[in-house]
Homo-oligomer: A and B are copies of this chain.
Amino acid sequence: MYEVEVKVPADLEAVRDRLETREATQLGSVVQADTYYNAPHRDFAETDEALRIRSERPADGGAETRVTYKGPLVDEETKTREEFETGIEDAETTDAILTGLGFEPTATVRKDRERFSLDGYTVTLDSVDDVGEYVEVETEVAAEADLETAREGAYDVLERLGLDPDDQLRTSYLGLLLES
Contacts and interface: CB of A to CB of B under 8 A. Distances in A.
Interface in A42-80: 42, 49, 51, 67, 69, 71
A49 B102 CA distance: 12
B85 A93 contact: yes
Interface string A19-53: 00000000000000000000111100000010100
B85 A88 contact: no
| Copies of this protein, total | 2
Interface in A80-98: 82, 84-90, 93-94, 96-97
Given A39-B101, A39-B102, A85-B93, 12 more contacts: A42-B102, A49-B100, A67-B97, A69-B101, A82-B96, A82-B100, A84-B93, A86-B89, A86-B94, A86-B97, A87-B88, A87-B90
